[in-house]
Amino acid sequence: MKKVLLVGCGGYGAGYVNMLLEQGDKVDAKLYAIADPYVENSQVKDLIYAAGIPVYKTPEEFYEKDFAEIAIISTPIMLHAHQTEVCLMAGSDVLLEKPISGSVADAKRIQEARDKSGRKLVIGFQWSANDAMLRFKKDADAGLYGKLLSTKSLVLWPRDFAYYNRGTRWAGKKYAADGSAIFDSIASNATAHYLFNMLWVAGKGYEAARVGDVSFFAAKANDIETYDTLVLKGKTEDGVELFFGASHAIKREKVQNPIFEYKFEKATAYFGGKGRSEKGLEVIRNDGSIVDYGMSDNGGLAQKVEKAFAYFDGKGENVCPVEAAIKHIELLEGLWEERDAMEPFSAEKIVTLPDMVYVAGLDDTLKECFKEARLPNPEEV
């Protein structure tokens, strides 16, 4: 049974604690140690202590005394490059939570550490490890639906002040106090899976596609350094058109869970929306016949661990390599290269509540943008 070092046990990292304690046998692995200076703030601290799992402040402290074949890194973005380097160079294979980093430079630093160490590295975009999504990807790559023509996706997830003030308050920041790149935004974090999935499906194999010819609208209602709303249009190097819309500045009652439409020559793939189930992935062929892939986000973390550990063990593929994840960061960094600061929404449209802000009517505007695959008009925002 392989030993696992978990770096970061708060927030999303708590899910890894639960999964490994409950299902470790299924992946022939044991949660062996945790590196986190804030373990007392974790919602699973009692489970950790009850299981007798040793806790260290940093991965360096752990490797000075011990070793684990696998490291899972689930920490704030600005720590990814350094911590991944430490774990790889110590001889561990690494599952690194998305996004890979806050900058292309840090992503390439991670790539170099992988190459230099000779170890294996997987980036944790969980839709890339989903069984139904993988079946769909293989069928699409085999040409079952013809050439991919366009992809579009929409996610409207309200977030309150507590979301931006959580942890060490790095959410929505460009840089950490030490100058490390964060560039945390709705597109790099909460809805990153859905933006990245379009690149991943459009790419050859698991390489992901590179996007250029980009136009975008980015704005913020929250008092942050980045943006809480993004509408983006672009085109891959192979000519696949891309549309992505996402916002946190949405009224609570106006949630829109992820939907997508991927149009091929011979069919259209739907998730949510026109599909019969909000969680279902369906392909409707041009002749009206339906391929139902199923699919649910339930168990997404477990599937991600299973696929990564199988790859580490030489029994599976790397469904999300560094080379793919870098293209996500290249796209987002390109937005900052074009514009140093993101503008606020029109003041008269912002509604301030005691615990959050939202933009009146933004949900309807973004749904129209999704339908028409367009950017919002100035008078709409």
Domain co-membership, 110 together with 153? no
Q: Determine the pLDDT at residue 337.
A: 86
Q: How many Å apart are CA 354 and CA 278, to the nearest integer? A: 31
169 and 89 belong to one structural domain: no
**Residue 253: inside a domain, yes or no?**
yes
Question: For the domain that residue 335 is a member of, what is the CATH number?
Answer: 3.30.360.10
Q: Within 13 Å and on the Cβ side, how many CA atoms surround 267?
A: 18
pLDDT tens-digit series, residues 152-174: 999 999 999 999 998 889 999 99
Chain segment 193-241, per-residue pLDDT in tens: 999 999 999 999 999 999 989 999 999 999 999 999 999 999 999 999 9
Task: Find where tokens 């945390």 sit.
Answer: 184
Domain presence at residue 311: no
**In terms of domains, do 111 and 218 share one?**
no
> What is the per-residue pLDDT for 341?
74
Instruction: Give the domain range for residue 346.
Output: 130-296+321-380
Residue 216 lies in a domain: yes
| 175 plus 81 within the same structural domain | no
From 107, 127, 147, the end of a domain falls on 127
Dihedral angle over CA of 59, 63, 68, 70, nearest 10: 40
Any domain includes 303: no
Beta pairing class for 148-156 and 290-294 = unpaired
Percent of the chain exceeding pLDDT 70 equals 97
Say whether both 158 and 121 belong to one domain.
Answer: no
Q: Which residue ranges in the chain fall short of pLDDT 70?
A: 273-279, 296-299
DSSP string, 273-311: TTSSSTT-EEEEETTS-EEEEE--STTHHHHHHHHHHHH
Shared domain for 33 and 182, answered yes or no, is no
Domain boundary among 127, 157, 173: 127
Same domain assignment for residues 112 and 137: no
- CATH code where residue 29 lies: 3.40.50.720
State how far the Cα of 226 lies from the Cα of 185, in Å rounded to an integer.
Answer: 6
- Contact between 216 and 375 under an 8 Å Cβ cutoff? The reply is yes
